[in-house]
């Protein structure tokens, strides 16, 4: 069974986004108990040389790595998988045809069009027996749906052979709906809930990310199969802001008294 598929079989996996581009942060959050960690190569300055180090760090923990690429691009997919990624999140899939092309990039012929190399980190530098023959069995694809059009095509996308899961991107979805920055808008929430129902009908796992536990709980109540909450940077800056506000509020009376 594929690594991410095993997580889904054991419950409702919870994860977070990695945006600090730091192996230590990745390892720490893996030990913190997240079921999966999304290495964001779309909006973060993580290069492929960084990716290998981050995957090694996550590999020291019980957490499963998910690599989100900048685009469903054949070269980017090849480089990520050669670096050792097996579960990929591919953004902005709109149609079944785009889904078919995307998953083909993750599999060697005759199952797909992934470029072949014998010695790289993914094959344990050529020491993993039968790697080429079995790599497609370990590959796990998570395709992101980020517009109303993509959600409307969810059933057709989910039916494509090789699509393992779908994932709603609420930030881009809200922007495409004319409510940028407001994923809590009624219309956005209705479409997010609809996507969960459509995925259930299609028999396909569906994931999402939310900014805080309350929003994530709402998504899980809609029927989402797995979810990420915030990010390493988001949690760090929000906690830092809370503590600073608490300390500055505690200082305020003393500062006021000393002024008189």
Query: Which residue numbers are catalytic?
Result: 43
164 with 140: CB under 8 angstroms?
Answer: yes
208 with 229: CB under 8 angstroms?
Answer: no
110 with 80: CB under 8 angstroms?
Answer: no
CB atoms inside a 10 Å sphere around CB 119:
11
d(CA 17, CA 37): 6
71-75 contact pairs (CB < 8 A, 24+): 71/42, 72/98, 72/101, 72/102, 72/105, 72/143, 73/105, 74/105, 74/113, 74/115
CB atoms inside a 10 Å sphere around CB 255:
9
Tell me 7's DSSP state. Answer: H
């Amino acid at each position: 069974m594929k690594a991410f598929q095993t997580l889904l079989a054991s419950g409702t996996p919870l994860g977070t986004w990695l945006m600090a581009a730091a192996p230590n942060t990745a390892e720490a959050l893996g030990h913190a108990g997240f079921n999966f960690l999304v290495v964001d190569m779309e909006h973060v300055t993580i290069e492929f040389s960084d990716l290998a180090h981050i995957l090694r760090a996550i590999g020291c923990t019980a957490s499963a790595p998910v690599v989100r690429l900048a685009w469903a691009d054949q070269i980017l997919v090849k480089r990520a998988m050669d670096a050792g990624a097996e579960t990929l999140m591919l953004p902005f899939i709109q149609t079944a045809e785009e889904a078919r092309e995307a998953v083909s990039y993750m599999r060697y012929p005759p199952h797909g069009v992934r470029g072949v190399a014998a010695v790289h980190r993914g094959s344990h530098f050529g020491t993993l027996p039968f790697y080429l023959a079995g790599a497609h069995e370990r590959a796990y694809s998570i395709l992101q749906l980020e517009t109303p059009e993509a959600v409307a095509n969810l059933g057709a996308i989910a039916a494509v052979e090789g699509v393992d899961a779908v994932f709603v991107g609420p930030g881009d979805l809200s922007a495409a709906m004319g409510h940028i920055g407001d994923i809590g808008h009624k219309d956005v929430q209705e479409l997010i809930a609809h996507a969960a129902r459509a995925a259930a009908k299609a028999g396909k796992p569906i994931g999402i990310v939310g900014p805080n536990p309350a929003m994530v709980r709402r998504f899980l109540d809609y029927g989402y199969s797995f979810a990420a909450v915030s990010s390493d940077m988001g949690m760090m800056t929000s906690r830092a802001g809370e503590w600073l506000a608490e300390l500055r509020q505690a200082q305020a009376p003393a500062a006021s008294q000393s002024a008189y």
